[in-house]
Amino acid sequence: MCGIVGYIGNQKASPILINGLIRLEYRGYDSAGISTIEKNGLSIMKDQGRVKNLYNLKGINELEGTIGVAHTRWATHGKPSKENSHPHMDNSNSISIVHNGIIENYNELRNFLSNNGYTFHSQTDTEVIPNLIHYYYNKQNKKDISSLLKSVQSACSELKGSFAIEIICKDFPDNMIVVRKDSPLVIGKGDDENYISSDIPAILSFTRSFYLLNDLEYVILSRDNAQFYDKNLNPIKKEISNIEWNSSSAEKDGFDDFMLKEIYEQPTAIRETIGARFTENSNSEFDELDFTKEYLENLNKIYIVACGTAMHAGLVAKNIIEKICKIQTEVDIASEFRYRDPIIDEKTLCIFISQSGETADTIAALKLSKEKGAKTLAISNVIGSSITREADYSIYTHAGPEIAVASTKAYTSQVVLLAILAIYFAEILKKNSSYISQLKKDILELPKKIEETLKISENIKDFAKQVYQEKDIFFLGRGVDETVAKEGSLKLKEISYIHSESYAAGELKHGPIALIEKGVTVVGIMTDSLLVEKTISNIQEVVTRGAKTLIITNQNIDDNSFDNIVHIPITNVFISPILSIIPLQLFSYYISKEKGLDVDKPRNLAKSVTVE
């Protein structure tokens, strides 16, 4: 949620800031704004609505400042409006800031500042920050950049919650101060210029050299330097990380939408995620991990904790791990996990999945698990993200930037990586060697089979045209196919706004069948040969009640039994979700397009949920 960008250099800041905000639109927002230091002081340009609205603001083209900050806001405190949008200034109009996160004690701070003569012009929690900085700055004897830094530290020590903050001050046109806590922030190093953002893709076209900030690290930026300080303002050194993503990954490259592009990028994303982890004739390798046979044998449980689509990837992994490793595995929603006092100890391995690596609930659940003595393993698509720095171990998917809010290639990459991780565990435990050998072969064949599936799935578009005006659609599956039903249903909700539900097909007669009537659409997934006859029987029950059906299968079934059947390539049942989800991704996409909706930026959703 929200996105921030900053620039300090020798170029005009405003075009760079707006360009960065456009690249952050996928995070979800309802207003946007920029602030620059001009010859006559601070300038703020902001408005409700899309980033492109900034181009229509009076005076935007006359901005000459070479230092500035920018923000896309997702309303939390206060309705979407120009007044509530960022940036915000202090009462003296000397300090301007942008902020990602939530200040939980803002009412208390607002009352304190009001009692000290400060007035407020918005309903936001953020507006307390520049005024609190100003309050402490007024108490400083010296008025230099070091004094401003001390004032920022004093203000941050009062803040409860999460924040990534960029601060500019009209008195210091050659400096910017940034700090983060539980909210992402990176600094991109250029030639005599520095770029700041909440997300790497926003500034990837300018640099591939990044400083990754830890919690409560402060930075004074100038055009050609970055000075880093710890929470006590002791100087520290930071190493530069080089990011290998290609900036073209953040462009549509001829596709109508990022989501469609990312669906078709899945063969490449899977190849990159498999990488050199294993061959048919070699054991899987995770140099990042040092798990022993003794440790794995003594585990009493594995928890997989995530939110949304990442949680669905965890459900697929549960089936694989329990099948080939024989270790009890539970999958939990991060926001529930942290509040139910889970039974965790040193014999528990907790795996946390977050595509962005910044999902607030998942990070909080990870911290709780560490406190209880468990080993923690993070799976993310973003190198240096918060979750990977908190965890004991980290491994990465290599899906590349995913811009569309609805996840596609990140999901399938997560499933592949988790499958390889399960193989890694099983090989250490010396279990199921013949089964694992075939599973590895099937994984290596996945990119080619995904390419086949993408071609086969083209006829999905015709069915989408028939049902795009539906009010309710149901998804059914058994075993591992039920996890695909959950993810297919979620995709449809996210981008088409059609009410959809997923059910274990065997549960149909225990209640949900009451919802089935003539003309209702039901999607069935059948890839498990042991369960296909049972699933066919379940879905026949909806056919007899007049439902329209779409079946995704790799089994030999009677094509006359159902309205529409998409045959996908055969593979190991435990990795079949990587193939069977692709027609459902396209199904959701084409329905959304038929309805004329914004596929990449669905309403009310954000790519990275950095608040609880």
User: How many helices (H) and strands (E) in the chain?
Assistant: 18, 25
- Total tally of structural domains belonging to the chain: 3
* Residue 362: inside a domain: yes
Say if residue 120 is in the same domain as residue 23.
Answer: yes
Structural domain includes residue 201: yes
* Residue 103 sits in the same domain as residue 221: yes
Q: Spell out the residues 6+ positions from residue 560 whose beta carbon is closer than 8 angstroms to its own.
A: none
Q: How confident is the model at residue 247 (pLDDT cuts 50, 70, 90)?
A: low
Is 532 a domain residue? yes
The 8-class DSSP code of residue 184 comes to: -
- pLDDT tens column, 332-356: 999 999 888 899 999 999 999 998 8
Angle at CA of residue 153, ends 231 and 164, nearest 5°:
80
Does the pLDDT of residue 458 top 90, yes or no? no
DSSP 80: S
The residue among 243, 262, 282 that closes a domain is 243
Let me know: does 36 contact 211? Beta carbons within 8 Å: no
Kindly state whether residues 235 and 140 are assigned to the same domain.
yes
What is the Cα–Cα distance from 195 to 191, expressed in whole angstroms?
11
Boundary (domain end) residue, out of 444, 478, 507: 444
Residue 143 sits in a domain of what CATH number?
Answer: 3.60.20.10
Q: Where are the alpha helices (DSSP H) in 10-126?
A: 13-23, 106-115
Neighbours of 158 (CB within 10 A): 16
pLDDT at position 483, please? 96
Whether the pLDDT of residue 428 is over 60: the answer is: yes
Q: Do 208 and 264 sit in the same domain of this protein?
A: no
In this prediction, residue 248 carries a pLDDT of 54
Radius of gyration of the chain (CA): 26
- 239 and 272 housed in the same domain: no
pLDDT, tens only, 122-174: 999 999 999 999 999 999 988 999 999 999 999 999 998 889 999 999 999 99
Per-residue pLDDT at 328: 97
Spatial contact of 70 and 123, defined as CB atoms under 8 Å apart: no
* Terminal Cα-to-Cα distance of the chain (whole angstroms): 11
The predicted model gives 323-339 an average pLDDT of 94
Mean pLDDT lowest among 266-270, 329-333, 492-496, 588-592 = 266-270
| pLDDT value for 287 | 82
Distance CA 262, CA 401 (A): 9
Tokens 């596929």 belong to residue:
599
Q: What is the pLDDT of residue 250?
A: 57
Query: pLDDT tens digits for 40-63?
Result: 999 999 999 889 899 999 999 999
What are the structure tokens assigned to 161, written together? 């919650």
Residues forming the active site: 2, 607
Tokens of residue 78, six digits: 């206060």
CA distance 477 to 494: 20
Query: Which tens digit of pLDDT belongs to each residue from 61-86?
Result: 999 999 999 999 877 777 888 899 99
Predicted pLDDT at 101: 82
Looking at residue 199, its pLDDT comes to 78
How many CB atoms neighbour CB 292 within 10 A?
A: 9
pLDDT digits (tens, 9 = 90+) for 514-526: 788 888 999 999 9
Q: What is the pLDDT confidence band of residue 246, given thresholds at 50, 70 and 90?
A: low
Closest by CA to 179, choosing from 69, 58, 62, 30, is 69
Name the DSSP letter for residue 449.
H
Question: For residue 157, what pLDDT is reported?
Answer: 96
153 and 192 in a common domain? yes
197, 77: one domain: yes
Cα–Cα–Cα angle for 287, 290, 293, rounded to 5 degrees: 125
Structure tokens belonging to residue 460: 């999905």
Q: Is residue 604 part of a domain?
A: no
Same-domain status, 143 and 264: no
Distance, in Å, from the CA atom of 330 to the CA atom of 343, rounded to the nearest integer, reads: 11
> Omega before 235 cis (within 30°)?
no
Please answer whether residues 226 and 206 qualify as being in contact, where contact means their C-beta atoms are separated by less than 8 angstroms.
Answer: no
Average pLDDT in the chain? 90
Verify that 203 and 271 share a domain, yes or no: no
E runs forming strands in 182-337? 186-189, 194-197, 209-212, 217-221, 226-229, 235-236, 241-242, 301-306, 329-333
> Which residues, other chains included, contact 149 with Cβ-Cβ below 8 Å and sequence gap of 6+?
177, 218, 220, 229, 233
> Where in the sequence is the domain holding 588, given as residue range(s)?
457-594
Domain of residue 517, CATH code:
3.40.50.10490
Residue 224: its pLDDT value, please? 93
In terms of domains, do 102 and 219 share one? yes
| Overall average pLDDT of the 263-285 stretch | 84
At 175-197, the pLDDT tens digits run: 999 999 877 789 999 999 999 99
Confidence class for position 323, pLDDT limits 50, 70, 90: very high
Mean pLDDT within 263-272:
89
In a domain, 600, yes or no: no
What is the arithmetic mean of pLDDT over 12-29?
84
pLDDT in tens, 83-123: 999 999 999 999 999 998 888 898 999 999 999 999 999 99
Residue 606 domain-assigned (yes or no): no
Same domain as 434, residue 310: yes
- For residue 38, being part of any structural domain is answered with yes
Please state the rounded mean pLDDT for residues 368-375: 94
Record the tokens describing residue 165, joined without a space: 């903050």
Cα 529 from Cα 546, distance rounded (Å): 26
Residues contacting residue 92 through CB under 8 Å, at least 6 positions apart: 134
Give domain status of residue 98, yes or no. yes
Please give the distance of CA 169 from its chain centroid, rounded to a whole number. 32
Reduced 3-state DSSP string for 364-427: HHHHHHHHCCCEEEEEECCCCCHHHHHCCEEEECCCCCCCCCCCCHHHHHHHHHHHHHHHHHHH
Mark whether 282 and 203 lie in a shared domain.
Answer: no
Range with lowest mean pLDDT among 28-42, 283-297, 445-459, 501-515? 501-515
Least confident of 1-15, 19-33, 61-75, 163-177: 19-33
For residues 200 and 297, the model is more confident at: 297
Task: Answer whether residue 373 shows pLDDT above 60.
Answer: yes
Report the pLDDT averaged over residues 248-277: 83
Residue 515: the pLDDT is 81
